[in-house]
Amino acid sequence: MRCTVFGTGYLGATHAACMAELGHDVVGVDIDPGKVAKLADGVVPFYEPGLEDVLQRNLATGRLRFTTDYSDAAAHADVHFLGVGTPQKKGEYGADLKYVHAVVDTLAPMLERPAMIVGKSTVPVGTAAALGIRAREQSKVDVEVAWNPEFLREGFAVQDTLRPDRLVLGLDHARERSAWVEQTIREIYADLIAAEIPFLLTDLATAELVKVSANAFLATKISFINAVSEVCEATGADVTMLADALGYDARIGRRFLNAGLGFGGGCLPKDIRAFMARSGELGADHAVAFLREVDNINMRRRTKVVDMAARACGGSLLGANVAVLGAAFKPESDDVRDSPALNVAGMIQLHGAVVTVYDPKAVENSRRVFPTLNYATSVSEACDRADVVLVLTEWNEFTALTPADLDPVVRSRSIIDGRNCLNSTTWRAAGWVYAGLGTP
C-alpha cells in the first residue's frame, strides 16, 4: 500500500522505515532538508539500534524515499501518517501543537482525492476531532482523521513497531467513511494482525488517552518506588530488595520499579504535564492532581544526587573535580531531552565544580545543550583525577566497571550510583566509598 509519513524525527523516521519493511511504498516528508538528505543517504540522524539497517535495506528496494515536497506526498498516497513532535510549550505545561497544525494546514488544500490522516503523535484528548474539522474546512475533497498512537521505547523502537504489544485505532464512528479507514489500516497492519497482535478499535478520544494514560502510569510507578526509596534512606532499608519482593506480586510486577535518578526523555515528563494541562481545560484537573506530585518526586531525585555529590566532596562542590558517566536519559539512546543525568551535571557545575561527562552515544547532543561542560571520549578520561564519580545512565559499559578499572585514574575512591546498577559489596570491599539511592 502507498502511504506517507509526515515528520522524520525519532517517531516519523522509525515509522516510515518500518512501514516499508512491512512491504508498503512509503514517502517520508519533512521541512528540514538536512534531515531528508541524511535519511535519503541511509543515515539515521539519531541513535536507535537496528534502525539504520532497516532504513538502508528499504531505500535499496525502492520502497522508501524522503522528500520536502508536500505536493509530491499528497499525490503519492491516500494514507498520511502524522508523526511530528508535540513538545511542551515554553513556560507552560500544555503541548505545543504548532507542528501538527502546520502539517494539516499545508497538506489538506493539496489533496486531490479522498484521503485519511492517521495520527501517531501524542496529543491532548480532543485534538483528533478538532483536526478532522480543520482538515475538511481547508480541503476540496473528503478527509478522514483517525488516531493510531505509538508506544515506542527508545532503544527498542524497531521491535516495538514491527511487533508491538498492541495496535490501537481510534475512529470517528459518526463519519460515513469510518469503515473505509478501519479496513485500510487493517490492510496496512495485516502482517501484525496475522501474527495475533491485539487490535483494539476505539473512538478518537480513547485512542488519544491510551498513550498519555500509559505514560502517566509508568511515570507514577517510577515515582512511587522513588518515594519509597526516600523512606528507605530514612530507615536504613534497601529499596532494591524491597522492589524485588514487590515484583513477585503479579498485580504489581517488577518492571519500572528500579529506584534511582528518575525518568526523563522526550515523552514521560512532557506528556504527564500536558495531561495535567488538558485535564484542567476540561475541568477535571482534580482527577490527575496526583501527577503533580509524581513530577515533583521525579525532579527531587536530581537535587538529591547533587546533594550526595556535595557530601562526597566534603560538603562543597566548589573546585571539586566530578566525573559524570552517562548523559542520555536512558541507555541505548542518544536522547538528552530532559535527561536527569545531564541536568545533574549542569547543576553540579553551577555549584562550582569542574564536571567532565562521558556517554557512549550522547556526547554530541549533550554538547549542544550544555556546551560549558567538559566532555571525554572514554571512562578513564572522564574519571581522571576525579574527587567523585557519578554513574547516572546504566549503559552496559558502566555497569561492567570494576574498582580496578578506576583505581589508577581517580583522585578519591568515591562513587555515587544514581541508577543502583553497581554491586555495592564489590566496590566497598575494594576500599571505595559507595552511595546508592535508597540503599544502605
Percent residues over pLDDT 90 in the chain = 100
CA 41 – CA 56 distance, rounded (Å): 8
Residue 281 and residue 190 share a domain: no
Domain count within the chain: 2
Q: Residues with Cβ < 8 Å from 95, sequence gap 6 or more? A: 86, 87, 88, 89, 122, 123, 124, 270, 274, 277, 278
Residue 260 and residue 192 share a domain: no
**Residue 351 vs residues 322, 329, 357: alpha-carbon distances, Å:** 11, 22, 16
Asked if 392 contacts 359 with a C-beta cutoff of 8 angstroms, the reply is: no
Residue 182 and residue 309 share a domain: no
Q: Please tell me the predicted confidence (pLDDT) of residue 66.
A: 97
Average pLDDT for the chain: 97
Average pLDDT of span 53-64: 98
Average pLDDT of span 186-198: 97
Q: Please tell me the predicted confidence (pLDDT) of residue 217.
A: 97
- Would you say residue 204 lies in a domain? no
Residue 263 and residue 151 share a domain: no
CA 161 – CA 294 distance, rounded (Å): 28
Q: Residues with Cβ < 8 Å from 236, sequence gap 6 or more? A: 440
CA 403 – CA 430 distance, rounded (Å): 7
CA 58 – CA 20 distance, rounded (Å): 6
Grid look-up 514521560 returns 268
Q: What is the span of the domain harbouring residue 46? A: 2-197
Residue 312 and residue 249 share a domain: yes
Tell me the per-residue pLDDT of 204-242, one tens digit each, with 9 for 90 and over: 999 999 999 999 999 999 999 999 999 999 999 999 999
pLDDT band at residue 415 under the 50/70/90 scheme: very high
- Would you say residue 189 lies in a domain? yes
Question: How many C-beta atoms lie closer than 10 Å to residue 371's C-beta?
Answer: 8
Angle between helices 10-21 and 51-61 (to 10 degrees): 50
Q: Residues with Cβ < 8 Å from 47, sequence gap 6 or more? A: 332, 333, 334, 361, 362
Among 170, 197, 224, the domain boundary falls at 197
Residue 295 and residue 177 share a domain: no
Complete edge-to-edge strand list for the sheet that includes strand 167-171: 64-67, 25-29, 2-6, 79-82, 115-119, 143-147, 167-171, 199-203
- Would you say residue 227 lies in a domain? no
Residue 253 and residue 154 share a domain: no
Q: Please tell me the predicted confidence (pLDDT) of residue 431.
A: 97
Residue 141 and residue 20 share a domain: yes
Q: Read off the C-alpha cell for 137.
A: 474546512
Average pLDDT of span 1-9: 97
Question: How many C-beta atoms lie closer than 10 Å to residue 300's C-beta?
Answer: 15
CA 143 – CA 166 distance, rounded (Å): 26
Question: How many C-beta atoms lie closer than 10 Å to residue 317's C-beta?
Answer: 26
Asked if 40 contacts 58 with a C-beta cutoff of 8 angstroms, the reply is: no
Q: Read off the C-alpha cell for 167.
A: 495496535
- Would you say residue 307 lies in a domain? yes
Pairing state of beta strands 374-375 and 167-171?
unpaired
Among 176, 197, 218, the domain boundary falls at 197
Residue 256 and residue 184 share a domain: no
Q: Please tell me the predicted confidence (pLDDT) of residue 434.
A: 98
Residue 246 and residue 167 share a domain: no
Tell me the per-residue pLDDT of 243-276, one tens digit each, with 9 for 90 and over: 999 999 999 999 999 999 999 999 999 999 999 9
Tell me the per-residue pLDDT of 128-183, one tens digit each, with 9 for 90 and over: 999 999 999 999 999 999 999 999 999 999 999 999 999 999 999 999 999 999 99
Residue 324 and residue 176 share a domain: no
Grid look-up 557519578 returns 390
Percent residues over pLDDT 70 in the chain = 100
Among the listed residues 3, 267, 383, 421, the single catalytic one is 267
Q: Please tell me the predicted confidence (pLDDT) of residue 37.
A: 97
Q: What is the pTM of this model?
A: 0.94
Coil vs helix vs strand at 103: helix
CA 284 – CA 275 distance, rounded (Å): 10
- Would you say residue 221 lies in a domain? no
* Positive or negative torsion for Cα 33, 34, 39, 40: positive
Among 166, 197, 228, the domain boundary falls at 197
Tell me the per-residue pLDDT of 66-84, one tens digit each, with 9 for 90 and over: 999 999 999 999 999 999 9
Minimal CA–CA distance to 289: which of 301, 303, 273, 302? 273
- Would you say residue 207 lies in a domain? no
Coil vs helix vs strand at 188: helix
Q: Please tell me the predicted confidence (pLDDT) of residue 404.
A: 97
Residue 359 and residue 289 share a domain: yes
Question: Which domain CATH number covers 92?
Answer: 3.40.50.720
Active site residue 18: no
**Residue 359 vs residues 50, 265, 369, 387, 404: alpha-carbon distances, Å:** 19, 15, 14, 19, 20
Asked if 342 contacts 356 with a C-beta cutoff of 8 angstroms, the reply is: no
